[in-house]
Each structure stands twice: as structure tokens, then as C-alpha cells.
Structure 1
């Protein structure tokens, strides 16, 4: 029988948009849409950078943003 390894935080410093959606759902059990992420970037509440036309997010910034978002939604 195959064992499934426990979920771990990414070892990278930056993640892309799709990875951020997955990260929020799998690690924090918080369903966040791409639209919500774009709005957070536009409002300045979620810092990001662009490289080759792709949005990239620093893991530490994402964690702070998710923790703030989950508190507003009544989460942990």
C-alpha cells in the first residue's frame, strides 16, 4: 500500500498564481479565487512581482495575506 506524504509548505521563495490558489486551499483550507487574488494585488494588500508577464508572490507575503484573510472570514 502506498503512503501519501503529509502536505508541506513549498521550499521555493516565490509561487505563481495557480500555485497560490492550490496553496491556500491545501495548506490553509481556504478557498480563494483568482479574481480575489487579482483584487488583493490591485488594492496593494498582497504584494507581487511580475516576471515574463507572470505574477509571482513571495511565500512569506502570501502567508501574511492568507492569515489576514482567514481572520476576516472568521477562520483560525
Structure 2
């Protein structure tokens, strides 16, 4: 007797650069430029990974980065 395994496709957890820009625009209504993202990656405030020459961003890291950026502006 054979058993059939069913797997669910995991929810998308990573965004590429273009998807990150769209995500921040749609979810947070923030127009973020590529330059701003590259600066955040270079400074270390936005964690990323490079796979096959493409930057990928974990959605949870993006949310923390945005929330942290808004808290800094409120404190100023």
C-alpha cells in the first residue's frame, strides 16, 4: 500500500530588489528607491543575502527595518 504525501508550497519569505520596492509601496505606502536600499544594505541596517548575483531580503527583516526607521524619525 502506497501513501501519498502532500506538501504545501511555503509562503513567500524572500523578496528580490524589485519585489521589495513594490512591497514597501503597497504595504506601507513608502516610495523607497534602489539607492536607499543599497545604502541600507551597505550600512548593515537592512540584512540581505546574495544568491546567484541577486540580492534577496527576508520579509521579516524588511518589516523590522521599516519599523526601526519609523521609530528613529519619531524619536527625533
On whether the aligned pair clears a TM of 0.5, the verdict is: yes
Deviation beyond 6 Å, 4+ runs, structure 1: none
Deviations 1:11-55 (A, max 9, x none): 311110000001111100111101000000000000000001000
How many residues align? The count is 64
Counterparts of 2:18 and 2:30, CA distance in 1: 14
Number of the residue aligned with 2:5: none
Select the structure of larger CA radius of gyration: 2
Q: Structure 1: which 5+ runs fail to align?
A: 1-10
Counterparts of 2:52 and 2:13, CA distance in 1: 17
